Amino acid sequence: MFGLAKFFGYFLVRNVDTKPTKTILTSDIEASEPSAGEESPTLVISTDNNDIFDPTDTILVQGIPGADSQGQSETKQDLMLYVLSRDSNGVTVMAVNGFTINGVPNCFPEVPSGTALVRMGRAASELDVQSPQFESLPKKSRNLCQIFKMQVEQSTLQRLANKEVGWTMSDQEEAAVYDMRLGMEKSFLFGAARQIWDPVKKEHVYFTGGIWDQAGKEYGLEMSVDLNVGKMVDLMREAFTGNAGSKRKILIGGSGLISRISKLDYTRVITAGQHVSKWGIDFTELRSKFGCLYLLLSEVFDEVGMEENGIIIDPEYIQKYTHIPFSTEQLNLKKSGVRNVDALVMTEASCLVLRYPKAHMRITTR
């Protein structure tokens, strides 16, 4: 009885929510009408939750087409914004892949209120040492679960205070690393490769391009038609033929696509294998005469409104280039007279590149 009472009893735990990554626009963005010779326009936008954005964040404007590299015509890639600042008036942004009007680059298209905005990875300039701090404050909660979090800045008084709940610098660091990695994943998937001039810092900022637009093939599925084994055979045929790819590829998809695939009645033509572990990740194996697919659910697709879509990646031909490896650096802000805090900054400069683009394929739903 003592063991059961202890198990079902209340435990004081540290409870913290992860930082939200999605909100909606609460006022219309009017199309830019600059005069010749002006600089790239900036705009103050208002959202349902301005607090999730910080300077250097990038934002994907879901469903609003961005411009090509010349800024002349629409593309299938969604509009991306770059956050310059945030204050009580709203979030000041620039367009990353905006349109060129009267010779002025990166102008805003019209964006209606209610449009979904997805927070993506941060983009720092070459001379940046610090980044806006990631803050995640704990609160007491009585529960039977374990929550992980981290703090990258901690004041001296906060560190010395007698706390009811254990709370250290490493706790805040863990949550910030998670949030940073999640933002990087979204940028690696759906980012727009651009270079813009930051008028505040007076230097260029570079943005990595996502592998979604790097894939050299695309396969469309009809949303109104049930996915059957025949359609799946056609999909795998398209993924594994006509390229120099390997016979084992990864299908990363949203919950809607993975759900449709999971409902298939498998036959001797396509069989569902056991769960396999590769690269430290658990996959569900799907085998056919054309090749083997490793299925993986990615909630990033759900966040950007692409739950019915996915991408097939050949792991043999995807490469990560790291200019600055992931590292942490202690900043002595006390001696420099900035703030009376212990500070930790995390940095990584990297991008993903798909070699042999036709070995990779987007899956879209019409």
- Concatenate the DSSP letters of all residues of 205-273 into one string: EEEPPPTTTT-SEEEEE-TTS---HHHHHHHHHHHHSSSS--SEEEEEE-HHHHHHHHT----SSSEEE
pLDDT at 345: 75
pLDDT at 226: 78
Q: Residue 209 pLDDT more than 70?
A: yes
- Look-up: residue for tokens 């987007």? 362
Residues 286-344 pLDDT 10s: 888 888 889 989 989 999 899 999 999 998 888 877 777 777 776 665 655 556 566 76
Share of the chain above pLDDT 70, in %: 74
Residue bearing the bigger pLDDT, 156 or 39:
39
Residues 95-135 pLDDT 10s: 999 999 999 999 999 999 999 999 988 887 776 656 665 55
pLDDT at 353: 85
Residues 18-55 pLDDT 10s: 567 899 999 999 999 988 888 899 999 999 999 889 88
Residues 343-357 pLDDT 10s: 767 777 888 888 788
Q: Residue 111 contacts by C-beta under 8 Å, 6 or more apart in sequence?
A: 25, 28, 29, 61, 64, 79
Residues 72-104 pLDDT 10s: 999 999 999 999 999 989 999 999 999 999 999
Domain boundaries, the chain: 2-17+129-207, 22-122, 217-319+354-365
pTM, whole model, 2 decimals?
A: 0.70
53 residue type, one letter: F
